[in-house]
Amino acid sequence: MPHLKQWFVTGTDTGVGKTTLCRALLAAAAARGLRTAAMKPAESGCRRDPREGLVPADALALRQAASVAIDLGAICPYRFEAAVAPGVAAEELGETIDFTHIGRCRERICEAGPDLLLIEGAGGLLVPLGAGRTIADLARFLGAPLLVVARDSLGTINHTLLTVEVARGRGLAVGAVVLSACTPDTPEGLAASNAREIERGCAVPVLGRLPHVRGGEDLASVAEHALGVGRLVGPPDVVAAEVSRETSAAPAPPGVSRETSPR
């Protein structure tokens, strides 16, 4: 995958706008002529349809926004009806979320030759995935640098710095933070100080503030205008390559899953 750029998209909380950011980046990348793909390895709160089974709303939105046609089974291999953390839902059903299977699904997606692959987590980094593992363990297993989506509100400096500190403590590289106006009434006044203090506190670039999206907007131009997406959509750069080496070389801290990337 010499030309593939990947991000593992995580949030400082659930409902902060990960899917919206992914859709906007996929649209902007496609408008730049790139082949795009996305996956949502585990989604809970799925609607149960009598004919189609469990319907993962985020994964369907990602599939619609991506330019490379991929079957939903590879995009979202683990779906749960209960609106609880995926690991909680899985354990209640006696099921296991198998990281190796998720890795194989990613390989199938990569065989379609995307230039950009966005992997959306579930909630934040310490959301359980069962058997004592978390979203951070999955991000580490998949070896993609993190893109952190942070709610642009009071409290986000703390939430974002906590997320970055946990990520680094678990051997994850954090590539960028994006602020998100996840509700229509989010005021704009805090964005500049939030961005400044996050950059000062953790030395990760804050690439911009994604405005609230109501539907019907041209997401590609929203992303280009708000984020200047060049650094996010590629081409794969030296920094990303160094980041992923750093991620795979870092030792797992105590208590962290020893599953390692197949790559």
**Nearest one of 197, 150, 154 to 174, comparing CA atoms:** 150
Catalytic residue chosen out of the listed positions 5, 18, 23, 40: 40
* Helix or strand (DSSP H, E) at 169: helix 156-169
User: Coil, helix or strand for 211?
Assistant: coil
Residues lying near Mg ion in the complex (CB under 5 A)? 18-19, 58
Residue 64: what residue type? Q
- Closer by beta carbon to Mg ion, 59 or else 105: 59
What is the C-alpha separation between 38 and 40, in angstroms, rounded?
Answer: 7
What's the token pair of residue 19? 């899917």
The residue number with the shortest CB distance to Mg ion is: 19
Q: State the alpha helices, DSSP H only, in 181-237.
A: 191-202, 219-227, 230-233
Shortest gap between Cβ of 32 and Mg ion (angstroms)?
23
Peptide bond just before 235 cis, omega within 30 deg = yes
What's the token pair of residue 127? 């959301």
Shortest gap between Cβ of 92 and Mg ion (angstroms)?
21
**5 among known catalytic residues:** no
Q: Give the pairing of strands 78-79 and 53-55.
A: unpaired
The residue whose two tokens read 């939903």 is 72
- Closer by beta carbon to Mg ion, 76 or else 109: 76
Shortest gap between Cβ of 136 and Mg ion (angstroms)?
17
Residue 76: what residue type? C
Provide the 10 A C-beta neighbour count for residue 82: 14
- Closer by beta carbon to Mg ion, 58 or else 115: 58
- Closer by beta carbon to Mg ion, 18 or else 151: 18
- Closer by beta carbon to Mg ion, 20 or else 67: 20
Residue 257: what residue type? S
Shortest gap between Cβ of 202 and Mg ion (angstroms)?
23
What is the C-alpha separation between 180 and 21, in angstroms, rounded?
Answer: 8
**So which residues are the catalytic ones?**
40
